[in-house]
């Protein structure tokens, strides 16, 4: 009976709860469970130092976990998921093919569009009027993965 009493010490129980949250973080992405693990370990340390009631232990756990979550999640998310630096500007992406010349490989109609070949790659394309297969065209804009073209 005394062995069970040693096992059910609050500091050991909170340590195990924290360890369970830590393991859960590996199964559930999002960098959330780790803060509850640290909150549980904080309670375990407090219980080692001072005897506190179970209600106070729960309050410490919730306050510590939520505070850590709110303060550190964004900072640590950047560390674990990577910061984005020197991101390509949207205007560069949109102007990437503007002014380039391509060849129509499937006739283009305003209703259905067609296909063009640009730099050895086939692209979906659309135009304001019909363009026959084999015609040379100029790219006027890019919308996602579709090029808007006009005949030359």
> Is 95 found in the same domain as 76?
no
Tens of pLDDT, residue by residue over 27-77, are 987 788 999 999 999 999 999 999 999 999 999 999 999 999 898 887 777
Range(s) of the domain holding residue 131 = 90-151
Do 106 and 57 have their domain in common? no
Q: Same domain for 66 and 35?
A: yes
Tell me the pLDDT tens digit for each residue of 117-133: 998 899 999 999 999 99
Q: Which helix (H) or strand (E) holds 47?
A: helix 33-49
Instruction: For residues 9 and 76, state if they share a domain.
Output: yes
- 66 and 99 in a single domain? The answer is no
Chain center to CA of 15: 30
Domain boundary among 55, 81, 107: 81
- Identify whether residues 25 and 69 lie together within a single domain: yes
Q: Are residues 13 and 33 located together in one domain of the fold?
A: yes
Backbone dihedral angles phi then psi of residue 122, each to the nearest 5 degrees = -85, 135
Structural domain total, the chain? 2
Q: Are 13 and 38 in contact (CB under 8 A)?
A: no
**11 and 77 co-located in one domain:** yes
Q: Which two tokens stand for residue 145?
A: 């993965």
């Amino acid at each position: 009976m005394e062995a069970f009493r040693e096992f059910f010490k609050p500091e050991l129980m909170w340590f195990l709860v924290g360890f369970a949250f830590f393991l859960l973080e590996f199964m559930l992405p999002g960098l959330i469970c780790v803060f509850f693990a640290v909150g549980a370990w904080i309670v375990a340390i407090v219980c080692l130092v001072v005897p506190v009631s179970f209600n106070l232990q729960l309050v410490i756990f919730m306050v510590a976990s939520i505070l850590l979550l709110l303060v550190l999640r964004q900072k640590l998310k950047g560390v674990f998921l990577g910061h984005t630096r020197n991101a390509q500007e949207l205007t560069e992406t949109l102007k990437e093919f503007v002014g380039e010349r391509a060849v129509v490989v499937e006739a283009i109609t305003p209703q259905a569009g067609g296909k063009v070949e640009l730099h050895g790659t086939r692209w979906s394309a659309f135009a304001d009027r019909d363009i026959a297969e084999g015609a040379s065209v100029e790219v006027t804009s890019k919308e996602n993965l579709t090029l808007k073209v006009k005949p030359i």
